[in-house]
Protein backbone atom coordinates (compact mmCIF):
# COMPACT_ATOMS: atom_id res chain seq x y z
CA UNK A 1 0.00 0.00 0.00
CA UNK A 2 1.24 3.51 -0.86
CA UNK A 3 0.27 6.28 1.53
CA UNK A 4 0.79 10.04 1.19
CA UNK A 5 1.23 11.89 4.48
CA UNK A 6 0.51 15.63 4.19
CA UNK A 7 1.71 16.92 7.57
CA UNK A 8 4.06 19.74 8.57
CA UNK A 9 4.99 18.55 12.08
CA UNK A 10 8.46 16.94 11.68
CA UNK A 11 8.18 14.91 14.90
CA UNK A 12 4.84 13.46 13.84
CA UNK A 13 6.22 12.77 10.36
CA UNK A 14 9.07 10.73 11.82
CA UNK A 15 6.82 8.86 14.24
CA UNK A 16 4.20 7.95 11.65
CA UNK A 17 6.75 7.01 9.03
CA UNK A 18 8.66 4.74 11.39
CA UNK A 19 5.49 3.04 12.63
CA UNK A 20 3.72 2.58 9.30
CA UNK A 21 6.76 1.49 7.29
CA UNK A 22 7.28 -1.29 9.83
CA UNK A 23 3.76 -2.40 8.89
CA UNK A 24 4.73 -2.62 5.22
CA UNK A 25 3.15 0.66 4.14
CA UNK A 26 5.15 2.80 1.68
CA UNK A 27 5.15 6.45 2.80
CA UNK A 28 5.42 9.62 0.75
CA UNK A 29 5.67 12.96 2.51
CA UNK A 30 4.59 16.54 1.87
CA UNK A 31 4.77 19.33 4.45
CA UNK A 32 3.34 22.27 2.48
CA UNK A 33 -0.26 22.80 1.48
CA UNK A 34 0.75 24.65 -1.69
CA UNK A 35 2.71 21.62 -2.92
CA UNK A 36 0.31 18.95 -1.68
CA UNK A 37 -1.83 18.64 -4.81
CA UNK A 38 1.21 18.15 -7.05
CA UNK A 39 2.59 15.47 -4.72
CA UNK A 40 -0.81 13.79 -4.65
CA UNK A 41 -1.03 13.68 -8.44
CA UNK A 42 2.58 12.49 -8.89
CA UNK A 43 2.57 9.75 -6.27
CA UNK A 44 -0.90 8.29 -6.97
CA UNK A 45 -1.26 7.02 -3.38
CA UNK A 46 -3.78 4.43 -2.19
CA UNK A 47 -4.66 6.50 0.91
CA UNK A 48 -3.96 10.11 1.94
CA UNK A 49 -3.44 11.26 5.54
CA UNK A 50 -4.16 14.98 5.57
CA UNK A 51 -3.51 17.52 8.33
CA UNK A 52 -5.75 20.57 8.29
CA UNK A 53 -3.33 23.17 9.68
CA UNK A 54 -0.75 23.38 6.91
CA UNK A 55 1.57 26.19 5.83
CA UNK A 56 0.81 27.77 2.47
CA UNK A 57 -2.69 26.37 2.05
CA UNK A 58 -5.22 25.02 4.53
CA UNK A 59 -5.85 21.27 4.44
CA UNK A 60 -9.55 21.71 3.67
CA UNK A 61 -8.66 23.77 0.59
CA UNK A 62 -6.17 21.10 -0.48
CA UNK A 63 -8.90 18.49 -0.18
CA UNK A 64 -11.42 20.65 -2.03
CA UNK A 65 -9.00 21.23 -4.92
CA UNK A 66 -8.13 17.53 -5.07
CA UNK A 67 -11.77 16.50 -5.36
CA UNK A 68 -12.41 19.15 -8.01
CA UNK A 69 -9.40 17.77 -9.92
CA UNK A 70 -11.01 14.33 -9.90
CA UNK A 71 -8.67 12.75 -7.33
CA UNK A 72 -10.79 10.09 -5.64
CA UNK A 73 -8.14 8.72 -3.26
CA UNK A 74 -9.56 7.90 0.20
CA UNK A 75 -8.62 10.67 2.66
CA UNK A 76 -8.26 10.40 6.42
CA UNK A 77 -8.02 13.80 8.09
CA UNK A 78 -5.63 14.19 11.02
CA UNK A 79 -6.14 17.34 13.06
CA UNK A 80 -6.14 18.97 16.45
CA UNK A 81 -9.49 20.55 15.54
CA UNK A 82 -11.78 18.16 17.35
CA UNK A 83 -15.21 19.78 17.34
CA UNK A 84 -18.23 18.20 15.68
CA UNK A 85 -18.51 21.21 13.36
CA UNK A 86 -14.96 20.75 12.11
CA UNK A 87 -15.56 17.05 11.46
CA UNK A 88 -18.74 17.78 9.53
CA UNK A 89 -16.98 20.39 7.37
CA UNK A 90 -14.14 17.97 6.64
CA UNK A 91 -16.47 15.14 5.68
CA UNK A 92 -18.64 17.42 3.56
CA UNK A 93 -15.54 18.66 1.72
CA UNK A 94 -14.73 15.11 0.66
CA UNK A 95 -12.89 13.38 3.51
CA UNK A 96 -13.63 9.69 4.11
CA UNK A 97 -12.65 9.53 7.77
CA UNK A 98 -11.52 11.79 10.60
CA UNK A 99 -9.13 11.24 13.51
CA UNK A 100 -8.43 13.85 16.16
CA UNK A 101 -4.96 14.40 17.64
CA UNK A 102 -3.64 12.88 19.81
CA UNK A 103 -4.58 9.44 18.47
CA UNK A 104 -3.68 5.80 19.00
CA UNK A 105 -1.31 4.47 16.33
CA UNK A 106 -3.00 1.06 16.20
CA UNK A 107 -6.36 2.73 15.59
CA UNK A 108 -4.79 4.87 12.87
CA UNK A 109 -3.39 1.81 11.11
CA UNK A 110 -6.74 0.03 11.34
CA UNK A 111 -8.54 3.00 9.80
CA UNK A 112 -5.99 3.28 7.00
CA UNK A 113 -6.41 -0.39 6.10
CA UNK A 114 -10.18 -0.11 6.29
CA UNK A 115 -10.13 2.81 3.82
CA UNK A 116 -7.83 0.84 1.53
CA UNK A 117 -10.13 -2.19 1.57
CA UNK A 118 -13.19 -0.06 0.90
CA UNK A 119 -11.43 1.46 -2.09
CA UNK A 120 -10.77 -1.98 -3.56
CA UNK A 121 -7.46 -2.85 -1.91
CA UNK A 122 -6.67 -6.36 -0.70
CA UNK A 123 -8.11 -7.54 2.58
CA UNK A 124 -4.61 -8.82 3.29
CA UNK A 125 -2.90 -5.52 2.43
CA UNK A 126 -0.34 -6.15 5.17
CA UNK A 127 0.97 -9.09 3.12
CA UNK A 128 3.14 -10.53 1.73
CA UNK A 129 5.52 -10.85 4.64
CA UNK A 130 8.52 -10.87 2.30
CA UNK A 131 9.27 -9.41 -1.12
CA UNK A 132 12.04 -10.89 -3.29
CA UNK A 133 14.02 -9.60 -6.24
CA UNK A 134 17.05 -11.47 -7.55
CA UNK A 135 18.88 -12.85 -4.51
CA UNK A 136 17.48 -10.16 -2.24
CA UNK A 137 14.54 -10.53 0.13
CA UNK A 138 12.77 -7.78 2.04
CA UNK A 139 11.19 -8.51 5.40
CA UNK A 140 8.23 -6.15 5.14
CA UNK A 141 7.52 -6.04 8.87
CA UNK A 142 11.06 -5.16 10.01
CA UNK A 143 12.30 -3.46 6.85
CA UNK A 144 15.46 -5.59 6.84
CA UNK A 145 16.84 -6.57 3.44
CA UNK A 146 18.76 -9.86 3.20
CA UNK A 147 21.21 -11.19 0.65
CA UNK A 148 21.17 -14.89 1.35
CA UNK A 149 21.39 -15.20 5.13
CA UNK A 150 23.06 -11.82 5.68
CA UNK A 151 21.43 -8.45 6.22
CA UNK A 152 22.55 -6.06 3.51
CA UNK A 153 24.74 -3.26 4.92
CA UNK A 154 22.95 -0.07 3.86
CA UNK A 155 22.81 3.52 5.00
CA UNK A 156 19.36 4.78 6.08
CA UNK A 157 18.89 6.56 2.74
CA UNK A 158 20.04 3.57 0.73
CA UNK A 159 17.68 1.38 2.74
CA UNK A 160 14.70 3.67 2.10
CA UNK A 161 15.48 3.75 -1.60
CA UNK A 162 15.90 -0.01 -1.93
CA UNK A 163 12.76 -0.81 0.09
CA UNK A 164 10.68 1.49 -2.13
CA UNK A 165 12.10 -0.10 -5.28
CA UNK A 166 11.70 -3.67 -4.01
CA UNK A 167 8.07 -3.13 -3.09
CA UNK A 168 7.43 -2.17 -6.72
CA UNK A 169 10.20 -4.07 -8.47
CA UNK A 170 9.81 -4.31 -12.21
CA UNK A 171 7.98 -0.97 -12.32
CA UNK A 172 9.54 2.45 -12.82
CA UNK A 173 9.43 4.98 -10.00
CA UNK A 174 9.93 8.66 -10.81
CA UNK A 175 12.95 10.47 -9.40
CA UNK A 176 10.63 12.95 -7.67
CA UNK A 177 8.67 10.16 -6.03
CA UNK A 178 11.82 8.45 -4.77
CA UNK A 179 13.23 11.77 -3.58
CA UNK A 180 10.30 12.16 -1.19
CA UNK A 181 11.00 8.68 0.18
CA UNK A 182 14.78 9.08 0.53
CA UNK A 183 14.87 12.72 1.71
CA UNK A 184 11.58 13.20 3.60
CA UNK A 185 10.89 16.85 4.39
CA UNK A 186 14.33 17.98 3.11
CA UNK A 187 13.25 21.02 1.13
CA UNK A 188 16.81 22.36 0.95
CA UNK A 189 18.20 19.25 -0.80
CA UNK A 190 18.40 19.29 -4.60
CA UNK A 191 16.72 16.56 -6.65
CA UNK A 192 20.11 15.56 -8.07
CA UNK A 193 21.05 14.22 -4.62
CA UNK A 194 19.00 11.11 -5.35
CA UNK A 195 21.52 10.23 -8.06
CA UNK A 196 24.29 9.99 -5.47
CA UNK A 197 22.24 7.54 -3.39
CA UNK A 198 21.42 5.54 -6.52
CA UNK A 199 25.12 5.37 -7.45
CA UNK A 200 26.13 4.10 -4.00
CA UNK A 201 23.30 1.61 -3.83
CA UNK A 202 24.06 0.28 -7.29
CA UNK A 203 27.61 -0.59 -6.16
CA UNK A 204 26.28 -2.48 -3.14
CA UNK A 205 23.90 -4.49 -5.34
CA UNK A 206 26.77 -5.98 -7.34
CA UNK A 207 26.64 -9.78 -7.07
CA UNK A 208 23.09 -9.89 -5.67
CA UNK A 209 21.40 -10.84 -8.93
CA UNK A 210 19.54 -7.54 -8.80
CA UNK A 211 19.98 -4.55 -11.10
CA UNK A 212 19.04 -0.92 -10.46
CA UNK A 213 18.21 0.48 -13.88
CA UNK A 214 17.98 4.15 -14.90
CA UNK A 215 15.18 4.93 -17.37
CA UNK A 216 15.73 8.33 -18.91
CA UNK A 217 12.72 10.54 -18.46
CA UNK A 218 10.93 7.95 -16.32
CA UNK A 219 13.07 7.33 -13.24
CA UNK A 220 14.45 4.08 -11.83
CA UNK A 221 13.39 0.48 -11.55
CA UNK A 222 14.71 -2.63 -9.84
CA UNK A 223 14.77 -5.93 -11.69
CA UNK A 224 16.17 -9.43 -11.34
CA UNK A 225 19.18 -10.18 -13.53
CA UNK A 226 18.13 -13.81 -13.90
Residue 145, helix vs strand vs coil: strand
pLDDT of residue 53: 86
Q: 37-69: buried (b, 16+ CB within 10 Å) or exposed (e) per residue?
A: bebbeebebbbbbbbbebeeeebbbbbeebeee
Residue 214 CB partners (closer than 8 Å, separation 6+) = 198, 220
Per CATH, the architecture of 133-224 is what? Answer: Orthogonal Bundle (1.10)
Digitized pLDDT (tens) for each residue of the chain, 226 residues in all: 899 999 999 998 998 998 898 888 999 999 999 899 888 988 889 999 999 889 888 888 999 998 888 888 999 998 776 555 666 776 777 888 888 877 778 788 888 988 888 777 654 544 456 788 889 988 766 678 889 878 888 888 898 889 888 888 788 888 887 887 788 666 677 878 889 999 999 999 999 999 999 988 788 989 998 6
| Domains of the chain by residue range | 2-118, 133-224
pLDDT of residue 123: 46
CATH of 2-118, one of 3.40.50.2300, 3.30.750.24, 3.30.70.890, 3.40.640.10: 3.40.50.2300
d(CA 32, CA 55): 5
pLDDT of residue 226: 65
Q: By the 8 A CB rule, do 214 and 199 touch?
A: no
Q: By the 8 A CB rule, do 76 and 48 touch?
A: yes
Which pTM was predicted?
0.54
Residue 141 CB partners (closer than 8 Å, separation 6+) = 22, 23, 24, 129
β-pairing verdict for 26-30 and 2-6: parallel
Amino acid sequence: MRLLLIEDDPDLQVSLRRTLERKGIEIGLCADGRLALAHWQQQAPDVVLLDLSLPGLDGLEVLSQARKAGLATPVLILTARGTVGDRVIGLNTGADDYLSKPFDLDELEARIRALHRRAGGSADDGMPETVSCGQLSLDVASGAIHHGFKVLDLSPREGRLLRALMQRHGRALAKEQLFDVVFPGAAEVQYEAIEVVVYRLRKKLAGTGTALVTLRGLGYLLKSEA
